[in-house]
Amino acid sequence: MKPNLLIIHPHDNVAVALCAIGAGETAVAQGIEGLTAVSDIPASHKIALEDIAAGQEIVKYGEIVAVSTHAIKKGEWVHTHNLESKRWKR
Amino acid sequence: MEAMTEITGYARPNGTFGVRNHVLVLATVSCVTGVIQRIAREVPEAVCVPHAWGCGRGGPRDVQVLLRVLSGMVHHPNVGAVVLIGLGCEVSNTRTLAAMIGDAGKPLEILNVQEDGGSLATARKGAAAARRLLEQIGVQRRVPMPWNRVLAGMECGGSDAMSGVTANVAIGAVADWLVAQGATVIFGENTEMIGTAHVLARRAKNDRVAKQIEQMVDRAERLTQDLMGDMASLVISPGNMDGGMSTIAEKAMGSICKGGTTTINQVVDYGEAPTERGLILQDGPGYDGDSMTGLAVSGAQLMFFSTGRGTPAGFPGVPVIKVASNSRVCAAMPDDMDVNAGALVEGKPRETLRDEMIDLMMRVINGEPTQAERHGMDVFSFMTVHPPF
């Protein structure tokens, strides 16, 4: 199956959807297999690569870009509804 | 990938190398725009640069930038000879500039419209000078160029949600490769760094550079707040969020990743030439034209420019390699894009794309024109801080 996800940095706990991925569909990236989307992921949005606890750092580009506000399940959409900026409210 | 292919350039007396050998016809002031345009029609082989500045902005910072940019264009390694066209009474007049460019080590002819018979006569003399200089420097030959003489500028503009996922990541991989070869990579756009001062500072060579990074990003943030007030939060816009960016740090990471991941060795002012090698940050604005000028005047002989919505912008005398973040813009603007980083979405491995970009970069360094060069899509503008008076 052709990759529909991009993992930008090996330390990242989120990946970017290269196209819209529906809940229940399989998400594939170079180096990972068998991840199932548990919610709809819009194109160019983030999907959790592992379970992320509430208050845990969201890592993309190998850097902390946000902190989760809720527990996020592996395969779940990661966006403004379940994270916040570490320094700003946006 | 090994640097198997030899790169070549024009060795300049000051130790720099040009990847092009242009005759530059440069205006000192906006008043002579028509003269420059006439010369451009008569001598299309010359790189003719009119602009909107040269007078009417008296603040010390604007005068400093004005003189630095114009003298920097003359000094640029891709320029083999210069025809400088002045008016006579402007701030950046040819006498003031002559004192700054006397050491340029290249043939230079100076004309002033007020002293050389008016616009038509100056255009005639300027065109003749440009033809003469083209012939004179046409005998210069390329020689092998070491990688540690390459200075590449990294720019992004007309970005979309994929710019920070495909194109800038791909450009960052090329940046890391260049630094590994001993080359220098520079990028600016301080407003795009807001939210990532801590990330950039951690990558600084030493505490001094870290402090400079923090101060630069702080200033950019304060300026944004001063200018935009309550709108400052729109630095990350609802459109950005629709595209999947959740925080300002995430958006900024998507921009700064075009510089790669290596140690930041120096912060330079707008248009200032780096004295270090490796990765360099420039304290300059995000607006594409102004930013490219800052990078070029710092000595960048070539640039990578990522775009998602699509911009045709190139730079006078400097090859700009346009990297599309998605296949749609490649199809929509086929004459403007050099690389399709959107191919990552269709399954092209990242390493393959990087190696193709390195290969293209070598061909461009060795003389292959980029789309923007081929079609004359030059943009030239530079930073000002005060309104004209």
Question: For chain A, which domains are there?
Answer: 5-84 (2.30.130.110)
Record: contact A83-B199, CB cut-off 8 A: no
Tell me the helices (H) and strands (E) count for chain B, helix number first.
13, 14
* Mutant choice from B237, B242, B246 vs A, greatest count of A C-beta within 10 A: B246
Cβ atoms of B39 and B129 closer than 8 Å: no
Collapse the DSSP code of A57 into the 3-class scheme (helix H, G, I; strand E, B; otherwise coil) and give the result. Answer: strand
Model confidence pLDDT, tens digit, residues A41-67? 999 999 999 999 999 999 999 999 999
| Minimum CA–CA partner of A15 in chain B | B165
pLDDT value for B4: 55
State the Cα–Cα distance between residues B9 and B23, nearest whole angstrom. Answer: 16
How far is C-alpha B279 from the chain's CA centre? 15
CATH of domain B22-137: 3.40.50.2300
Question: H or E segment at A64?
Answer: strand A63-68
State the Cα–Cα distance between residues A83 and A68, nearest whole angstrom. Answer: 4
- Beta-carbon contacts of residue B170 (< 8 Å; ≥ 6 apart): B306, B323, B339, B341, B344, B350, B353, B354, B357
pLDDT higher than 90, residue B33: yes
Model confidence pLDDT, tens digit, residues B260-311? 999 999 999 999 999 999 999 999 999 999 999 999 999 999 999 999 999 9
Nearest to B193 by CA among B274, B279, B281, B263: B281
User: If you write DSSP's letter for every residue of B260-306 in order, what string do you get?
Assistant: -SS-EEEEEETTPPPSS-EEEEEE--SSHHHHHHHHHHTT-SEEEEE
Joined tokens for residue A5: 């996800």
- Beta-carbon contacts of residue B193 (< 8 Å; ≥ 6 apart): B200, B216, B217, B220, B252, B255, B256, B281
* Mutant choice from A4, A8, A69 vs B, greatest count of B C-beta within 10 A: A8
The reply to whether B169 touches chain A by the CB within 8 Å rule is: yes
State the Cα–Cα distance between residues B23 and B347, nearest whole angstrom. Answer: 43
Q: Which residues on chain B are in Cβ contact (under 8 Å) with A44? A: 161-162, 165, 243-244
Phi-psi region of B263 (alpha: psi -120 to 50; beta: other; left: phi over 0): beta
State the Cα–Cα distance between residues B330 and B324, nearest whole angstrom. Answer: 6
pLDDT value for B234: 63
Amino acid at B100: M
Nearest to B250 among A3, A6, A60 (CB): A60
Q: Which residues on chain B are in Cβ contact (under 8 Å) with A88? A: 195, 233, 247-248
pLDDT higher than 60, residue B1: no
- Beta-carbon contacts of residue B220 (< 8 Å; ≥ 6 apart): B190, B191, B193, B194
Model confidence pLDDT, tens digit, residues B69-91? 999 999 999 999 999 999 999 99
Residue keyed to tokens 């002033």: B112
State the Cα–Cα distance between residues B339 and B364, nearest whole angstrom. Answer: 12
Question: What residues of chain A have any CB closer than 8 angstroms to a CB in chain B?
Answer: 2-3, 6, 8, 16-19, 30, 42-46, 58, 60-66, 78-80, 83-88, 90
Predicted TM-score (pTM) of this structure: 0.94
Cβ atoms of A10 and A33 closer than 8 Å: no
Model confidence pLDDT, tens digit, residues A32-43? 878 999 999 999
pLDDT value for A87: 62
Q: Which residues on chain B are in Cβ contact (under 8 Å) with A46? A: 244, 246
Cβ atoms of B271 and B68 closer than 8 Å: yes
Neighbours of A13 (CB within 10 A): 20
Angle value at C-alpha B278, between B272 and B281, nearest 5 degrees: 45
pLDDT higher than 50, residue B114: yes
Cβ atoms of B201 and B213 closer than 8 Å: yes
Joined tokens for residue B212: 């400079």
The reply to whether B350 touches chain A by the CB within 8 Å rule is: yes
Cβ-count burial B195-234 (b if 16+ within 10 Å, e if not): bbbbbbbebbeeeebbebbeebbeebbebbeeeeeeebee
Joined tokens for residue B12: 């300049």
Question: H or E segment at A67?
Answer: strand A63-68
State the Cα–Cα distance between residues B371 and A84, nearest whole angstrom. Answer: 41
Residue range B120-127: mean pLDDT, rounded: 98
Record: contact B169-A62, CB cut-off 8 A: no
Cβ atoms of A27 and A6 closer than 8 Å: no
The reply to whether B253 touches chain A by the CB within 8 Å rule is: yes
DSSP conformational letter for B314: B
State the Cα–Cα distance between residues B171 and A68, nearest whole angstrom. Answer: 29
Question: H or E segment at B360?
Answer: helix B350-365
Model confidence pLDDT, tens digit, residues B227-262? 887 666 667 778 788 888 888 889 899 999 999 999
The reply to whether B134 touches chain A by the CB within 8 Å rule is: no
Q: CA of B268 to nearest chain A CA: how many angstroms apart?
A: 24
Record: contact A66-B254, CB cut-off 8 A: no
Burial class of A44 by CB neighbour count within 10 A (0 to 12, 13 to 18, 19+): buried
Q: What is the CA radius of gyration of chain B?
A: 21
pLDDT higher than 70, residue B64: yes
Query: Is the ipTM here above 0.90?
Result: yes
Residue range B28-32: mean pLDDT, rounded: 98
State the Cα–Cα distance between residues B23 and B138, nearest whole angstrom. Answer: 10
Strand partners, B321: B304
Residue percentage of chain A with pLDDT more than 90: 82
User: If you write DSSP's letter for every residue of B3-60 in order, what string do you get?
Assistant: --S--EEEEPTTS-EESS-EEEEEESSGGGHHHHHHHHHH-TTSEEE--S-SSS--SH
Neighbours of B134 (CB within 10 A): 17
